[in-house]
Amino acid sequence: MKSIQRFGGAMFTPVLLFSFAGIMLAISILFCNPSVFGSLASEGTLWYGIWDTVQQGAWTVFNQIELLFVVGLPIGLAKKASGRAAMEALVTYLTWNYFIAAILTHWGKFFGIMHYGRALAENSTNEGLKMIAGIKTFNTSIIGALIIAGIVVYLHNRFFDYKLPDFLGTFQGSAFVVILGFFAALPLAFITCLIWPKISFGIGSLQSFMAHAGPVGVWIYCFLERVLIPTGLHHFIYIPFQYGPAAVPEGLTKWWLMHLETFANSKESLKSMAPQMGFLMYGNEKVFGIPGIALAFYFTAKKENRKKVLALLVPAVITSVLAGITEPIEFTFLFVAPLLWVIHSLLAATLDTTLYLFGVVGDLSGGIIDMAGKNWIPLFQNHWATYLTQIVVGLIFTAIYFFVFRFFILKFNFATPGREADEEEEITLKTKQDYKNKKLAQGVQETAAASYTDPYSERAAIYLDALGGKENISDVTNCATRLRVTVVDPKKVKPDSAFKAGKAAGVVRAGRAFQVIVGLDVPQVREKFEELLKQ
């Protein structure tokens, strides 16, 4: 489970790049639409040329999605020299695809690829092939990228430091890993040619099923996407749909943007044109559900604590509603009231399914900025009624969230923000100077204490101490908001209150695997954390 969680978190590394690219694509597609801008946006005009240029640049991360996952996974999973691991994975992935291309060139008919030479050419069959980095190969999407990257990470972690005889010293390090990857890629390419056509057929069947799964499929999918967040396994739910081939060959986000102009110019309902987009609805709970939860927290807090609670909740709600990052507020109640997390997941799935039943679909996986860029602005002219429905239903669920959460908080007396015992609150009010004095009293070297010149270093030092010191750290990585650490001895890890002194929202504990809920600045904290490990 620890390995699966780390793998899932590492998958998120390239996902961070897609939001901005998607918004820029939606804007540039809108500005190239003659039905909105008239003759100004006609092909051949300066206006069209400028925005088409912007659009082509914005397609970069979507057109090269396989390469991004190949490079991104080692960054998250390599235990050392992650930059070199990313290079090794890229070289091995390209080698694997060149092997596939050569095998299909010579023996394509044996593997059932009848028109390899003409595939992808105009007026020819595709046969499940794609051009990747200039190589005509199987369209394995992110599946192939993740498999190859996973193999290379394993080879890198095991053999990067392997000492060869002196006369072979030039082949050590990255060269040795690439050599091993070369010999692993050849038989794997043969196996891929043998089994991928069958896997591709299975994926096609899955796509057909998911596209026609209806409200039940949407509810199950959205429930799993939300309820699995604490485990980190939710990445395995949404990434294959949003960026992989689970619902459509190119991933739902790219497919939506590719057809955005068609949707914008049509008055037909979005649901009838894109029923599979019901699987990208989970941004609605970020925009409408989280404010309801925050209101429940505020009105159930002790009156003397409401100002503190408001200061805690306002930035968290703004982050969720605008950017779609929910963990800063969700993890304030996950650990003290797991039942509320289940209720949140049930309400989220019900909200998404209700909207789907009312005809609301689209790339609605992020916050308001993402929704506006990819949906509301480019499609408003012909689909404003759909988005009015979304807002009305969403606000109704904001009220439902408020009353349901308020009821359960009061009924079970959950220690949500502002309702904690006095001794807990006293712990969270410790100052930075208190912490520094404590560290110095414990004999921390003066040079280390002097290095805490920014909030990231300070928090990293607090987390390192709470995790039992650098001798207790096996490896470290991160996802969007969590610092993921594997420790040597979990008994040395301190209680959650020690982490809260560094502004952590909480800690997920699973054996030797720990997830510290840091927030959106987790990449900076991780960098300082790793610097402390090297001291």
Return the active site residues.
Answer: 479
CA angle, corner 337, sides to 408 and 432, nearest 5? 125
**Closest-CA residue to 499 (of 405, 451, 446, 428):** 428
Helix axis angle, 65-77 relative to 82-107, nearest 10°?
A: 140
Residue type, 137: T
Q: Are 148 and 96 in contact (CB under 8 A)?
A: yes
- The 3-class secondary structure across 414-466, one letter per residue, is CCCCCCCCHHHHHHHCCCHHHHHHHHHHCCCCHHHHHCCCCHHHHHHHHHHHH
Q: Tokens representing 478? A: 């991160």
Q: Are 180 and 89 in contact (CB under 8 A)?
A: no
Identify the residue whose tokens are 């987790």: 522
Q: Which residues partner with 475 through β-bridges? A: 486
Distances (CA, A) of 409 to 102, 128, 292, 401, 421: 63, 52, 13, 12, 15
Q: Which residues partner with 131 through β-bridges? A: 136
Which helix (H) or strand (E) is 500 found in, with range?
A: helix 496-500
DSSP 123-156: TS--TTEEEETTEEEE--HHHHHHHHHHHHHHHH
Phi/psi class of residue 503: alpha, beta or left (left: φ > 0; alpha: ψ in -120 to 50)? left
Helix axis angle, 65-77 relative to 2-15, nearest 10°?
A: 130
DSSP label at 359? T
**Closest-CA residue to 93 (of 162, 6, 17, 192):** 192
